[in-house]
C-alpha cells in the first residue's frame, strides 16, 4: 500500500496528461519549435495552440504568457527588474523561500524591502505597510498552511508606476484566477501543481516592460532564452482541460474528503490543532499540529506504513529547521516542528481517507510514547 497525501508538493500526473503526452510522442511531436523545417513548424503550431488554450483558462492574451522552467524561475524573473535598483518593495515573511531569497538579494543591491506582519492565525496585517511601493510581491495561497489571501487591498500601496506580483503557484487550479480581473500585474504558475509535468512554469504579465530577462535570447519573444519545453507546455494544456471538465465537482469532492478527515481526526486524536481552521483556506489542505511529538518522526513512521505526507514545503524538506512560515505566525520552535501538512487531490477517494484515519491514531500514539 502506498497512499500519497502531498499534492501541495507535486500533484500526480492527471490521466489526460498521461494520455496526451503518450499521443504526442507517438505522433512525433518533439522537434525544436524554432526550427523552420516541417517538423519545427508542426511543433510551433502545437506550442502556440497550447498557449492560446492556457490563455483562455487564465483570461489573458496569449502574448501575455512567458513559459519558464518552473515556479522559481518565474519568481526570479518577476523580481529581477527590482533586484538591482533602489526600489521600494513590500512582501511578507510567509512567502515561498524563493521569494524571500529574492528579497534578500534586492536588499543587498540597495533596495528597501518592507515586510508585513503576520498574526498568530496566519492572517496578514498591513500595519507595517507604507505607500508608493515600486514592487509588491505576495502569495495568493500559502503552500504550507493552505491559507488564502485577498491581495486587492495592497494595490493601493503601490506608487504611480508600481507593479504587483502574485505568487499563484499553490492557488492555481484550486481558486479562480482570471488574470484580467485581478489586481496583479505579474502572476507565477507551476505545471506540476496542476497535475502536469514538472519542469514547466509560466509568468503571466500585463506588459512586457515589467519584465527584465535573466536569460536573454530570441525565444519567447525575446523574454527568455532556451528551447521551449514543448511536452511540458502541452501537459499544462491537458491538465487545464481536465480541470475545466471536472471543475466544481472535483473541488467539492476533495473539500468533502478534507472536511471529513479533519472532523474524524479531532474525534480520534487528542491534543491537535488545525491551522487556520476558521479562515479561508485551500479546499484540499489540512495543516495539523500534533502536540507532544516530533513531526519528522511522525512523517517517517507514516511513510513506513505507506502514507506519504510532509512537514511543509518540499523545497525545505530534509532540513531540521522549523518552518519559517510557522515561526512568522508566532509558533514556538517546538510547536512548528510538531506540525504536518496533509494535502489531498484529484486521485483520492473516501477509502483512502479511511485507511489514513484507521492507521493514524496508533501511529501518533506510538511516536508520542517515543
pLDDT > 70 fraction of the chain, expressed in percent and rounded: 98
- Residue 209, domain CATH: 3.40.640.10
- Residue 236, classed as helix, strand or coil, is helix
The closest alpha carbon to 118, from 140, 91, 99, 146, belongs to: 91
Q: Please, which residues bridge with residue 217 across strands? A: none
Which residue carries 466544481 as its cell? 248
What average pLDDT does range 198-227 have in this prediction?
Answer: 95
Phi, then psi, of 281 in degrees rounded to 5: -135, 160
Residues in the chain: 370
Query: Do 35 and 95 sit in the same domain of this protein?
Result: yes
Q: Helices in the chain by DSSP H: which ranges?
A: 15-26, 38-57, 71-80, 97-108, 219-222, 230-268, 295-304, 324-328, 333-336, 350-369
What average pLDDT does range 46-62 have in this prediction?
Answer: 98
Query: Do 109 and 60 sit in the same domain of this protein?
Result: yes
Query: Do 46 and 134 sit in the same domain of this protein?
Result: yes
Q: Work out how many domains the chain is built from and give that number.
A: 2
Element (H, E) at 162: strand 158-167
Query: Do 19 and 162 sit in the same domain of this protein?
Result: yes
- Residue 303, domain CATH: 3.90.1150.10
Boundaries of domain holding 332? 3-9+246-369
Compute the distance between CA of residue 170 and CA of residue 9 in angstroms, rounded to an integer.
Answer: 9
pLDDT at res. 128: 76
Query: Do 182 and 316 sit in the same domain of this protein?
Result: no
Q: pTM of this prediction?
A: 0.95
Asked whether residue 56 carries a pLDDT value surpassing 70, the answer given is yes
Give the mean pLDDT of the chain: 95
| Beta-sheet pairing, 201-205 with 186-190 | antiparallel
Asked whether residue 155 carries a pLDDT value surpassing 90, the answer given is yes
- Catalytic residue, chosen from 72, 98, 308, 315, is 315
> Which of 226, 241, 256 marks a domain boundary?
241
Beta-carbon neighbour count of residue 134 at 10 Å? 20
Compute the distance between CA of residue 59 and CA of residue 69 in angstroms, rounded to an integer.
Answer: 22
Catalytic-residue membership of 315: yes
Compute the distance between CA of residue 348 and CA of residue 242 in angstroms, rounded to an integer.
Answer: 16
Which residue carries 505579474 as its cell? 186
What average pLDDT does range 142-153 have in this prediction?
Answer: 97
pLDDT at res. 47: 97
Phi, then psi, of 183 in degrees rounded to 5: -80, 0
pLDDT tens-place string over residues 80-90? 999 877 899 99
Query: Do 105 and 227 sit in the same domain of this protein?
Result: yes
Query: Do 202 and 253 sit in the same domain of this protein?
Result: no
Query: Do 160 and 19 sit in the same domain of this protein?
Result: yes
Compute the distance between CA of residue 12 and CA of residue 321 in angstroms, rounded to an integer.
Answer: 27
Element (H, E) at 224: none
pLDDT at res. 105: 94
Query: Do 211 and 75 sit in the same domain of this protein?
Result: yes
> Which of 211, 241, 271 marks a domain boundary?
241
Query: Do 224 and 273 sit in the same domain of this protein?
Result: no
Query: Do 259 and 233 sit in the same domain of this protein?
Result: no
Asked whether residue 315 carries a pLDDT value surpassing 60, the answer given is no
The C-alpha cell that represents 4 in the structure block = 500519497
pLDDT tens-place string over residues 238-255? 999 999 999 899 999 999
Confidence of residue 228 (pLDDT cuts 50, 70, 90): very high
Beta-carbon neighbour count of residue 232 at 10 Å? 22
User: For residue 345, how far is the Cα from the chain centroid?
Assistant: 14
> Which of 189, 213, 241 marks a domain boundary?
241
Query: Do 228 and 297 sit in the same domain of this protein?
Result: no
Amino acid at each position: 500500500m502506498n497512499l500519497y497525501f502531498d499534492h501541495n508538493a507535486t500533484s500526480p500526473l492527471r490521466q489526460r496528461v498521461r494520455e496526451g503526452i503518450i499521443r504526442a510522442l507517438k505522433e512525433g511531436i518533439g522537434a525544436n519549435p524554432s526550427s523552420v523545417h516541417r517538423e519545427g513548424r508542426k511543433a510551433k503550431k502545437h506550442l502556440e495552440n497550447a498557449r492560446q488554450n492556457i490563455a483562455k483558462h487564465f483570461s489573458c492574451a496569449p502574448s501575455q504568457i512567458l513559459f519558464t522552467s518552473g515556479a522559481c524561475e518565474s519568481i526570479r524573473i518577476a523580481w529581477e527588474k527590482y533586484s538591482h535598483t533602489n526600489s521600494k518593495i513590500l512582501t511578507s515573511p510567509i512567502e515561498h523561500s524563493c521569494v524571500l531569497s529574492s528579497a534578500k538579494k534586492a536588499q543587498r543591491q540597495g533596495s528597501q524591502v518592507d515586510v508585513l506582519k503576520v498574526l498568530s492565525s496566519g492572517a496578514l496585517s498591513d500595519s507595517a505597510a507604507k505607500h508608493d511601493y515600486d514592487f509588491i510581491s505576495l502569495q495568493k495561497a500559502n503552500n504550507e498552511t493552505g491559507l488564502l489571501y485577498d491581495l486587492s487591498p495592497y494595490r493601493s500601496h503601490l506608487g504611480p508606476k508600481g507593479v504587483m506580483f502574485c505568487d499563484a503557484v499553490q492557488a492555481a487550479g484550486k481558486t479562480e484566477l482570471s488574470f484580467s480581473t485581478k489586481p496583479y500585474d505579474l502572476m507565477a504558475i507551476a505545471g506540476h501543481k496542476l497535475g502536469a509535468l514538472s519542469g514547466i512554469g509560466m509568468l503571466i504579465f500585463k506588459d512586457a516592460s515589467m519584465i527584465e530577462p535573466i536569460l536573454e535570447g530570441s525565444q519567447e519573444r525575446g523574454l527568455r532564452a532556451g528551447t521551449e519545453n514543448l511536452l511540458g507546455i502541452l501537459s499544462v494544456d491537458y491538465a487545464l482541460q481536465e480541470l475545466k471538465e471536472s471543475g466544481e465537482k472535483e473541488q467539492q469532492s476533495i473539500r468533502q474528503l478534507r472536511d471529513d478527515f479533519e472532523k474524524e481526526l479531532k474525534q480520534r486524536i487528542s491534543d491537535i490543532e488545525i491551522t487556520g481552521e476558521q479562515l479561508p483556506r485551500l479546499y484540499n489542505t489540512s495543516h495539523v499540529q500534533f502536540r507532544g511529538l516530533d513531526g519528522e518522526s511522525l512523517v517517517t513512521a507514516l511513510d513506513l506504513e505507506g502514507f506519504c505526507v510532509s512537514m511543509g514545503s518540499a523545497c525545505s524538506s530534509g532540513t531540521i529547521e522549523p518552518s519559517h512560515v510557522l515561526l512568522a505566525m508566532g509558533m514556538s520552535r517546538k510547536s512548528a516542528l510538531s506540525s504536518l501538512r496533509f494535502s489531498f487531490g484529484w486521485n483520492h477517494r473516501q477509502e483512502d481517507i479511511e485507511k489514513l484515519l484507521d492507521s493514524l491514531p496508533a501511529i501518533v500514539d506510538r511516536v508520542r510514547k517515543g
